[in-house]
Amino acid sequence: MKSISTLTGALVVLSSLSLTRPAVAEEQNPGPYVGADLGLALTSDARLKSFPGTGARPDVEFDPGIRLSLGGGWRFSDWIRAGGEFGVISHSIDGADASFAHFPLLANVEFQIPNSSPLVPFFGGGPGVSVSTISFDDDNLAGGDDVDGSAADATFVWQAYAGVRYKLNDSMSIGAVYRYFEAGETRFDVERTSTDIRLGRTRTHSFSASFSMDF
């Protein structure tokens, strides 16, 4: 009986949402949009290609981090929109007093699947460039020399993503999105040594809650 009551309550809530929100089957006019998402970032181990004071080349492990993205662009139709995105993907490095982050600037093309329900699936992606940073607080990797300070490098990146939005009304939506993000090799200059810090490709899976607004 409890499960029947729970199901009945859920159906009543969904019915209320359907009755109180405007119809979504009507095609939207072209116009600008903005959006943001925030969530968990999981970056796979990256190859440590060089580090001052060590010849070892182990994998670097990253603790779970965060991803924040802010973007906007132009909605050409219910089916397609294009724009740009800026954000941050930040992690601490496992086993060291150090952090690693990407600050990507990406171009996106997105395809939506409009339908008569308030749920709108979408997918997209695009290339870009990232300013990647690494920071150490008197610590090292692979037993090398202690390093203190920060450095930055620019690298090519790209992403692909997919998710679903729930239309609250004709202009505002909330949703969930999965993103796959890949960055090329990064090289960071270390003062008073001829050996740079070099990391191989990084690959990040992120799971975020999103908000978007059409104008």
CATH code, domain carrying 152: 2.40.160.20
The verdict on residue 8 lying in a domain is no
Residue 201 CA, chain-centre distance (Å), reads 16
Domain count, the chain: 1
Sign of CA dihedral 37, 38, 39, 44: positive
What amino acid is encoded at 128 in this protein?
G
The verdict on residue 18 lying in a domain is no
Q: What is the pLDDT of residue 20?
A: 44
Task: Give the domain range for residue 143.
Answer: 30-214
DSSP at 61: P
Tell me the average confidence (pLDDT) per consecutive run of 10 residues in the chain, 215 residues long.
43 44 60 97 96 91 98 96 97 96 98 94 98 96 94 97 96 97 96 90 98 96
The verdict on residue 108 lying in a domain is yes
The verdict on residue 5 lying in a domain is no
The verdict on residue 6 lying in a domain is no
**Token pair in block for residue 82:** 């294009």
Q: What is the pLDDT of residue 25?
A: 47
The verdict on residue 20 lying in a domain is no
DSSP at 94: T
The verdict on residue 47 lying in a domain is yes
Q: What is the pLDDT of residue 143?
A: 92
- Cβ neighbors of 32 (< 8 A, separation 6 or more) are 72, 73, 74, 75, 214, 215
Identify whether the C-beta of residue 196 lies closer than 8 Å to the C-beta of residue 188: yes
- Of 150, 182, 170, nearest to 213 (Cα)? 170
The verdict on residue 67 lying in a domain is yes
**Token pair in block for residue 75:** 């909605």
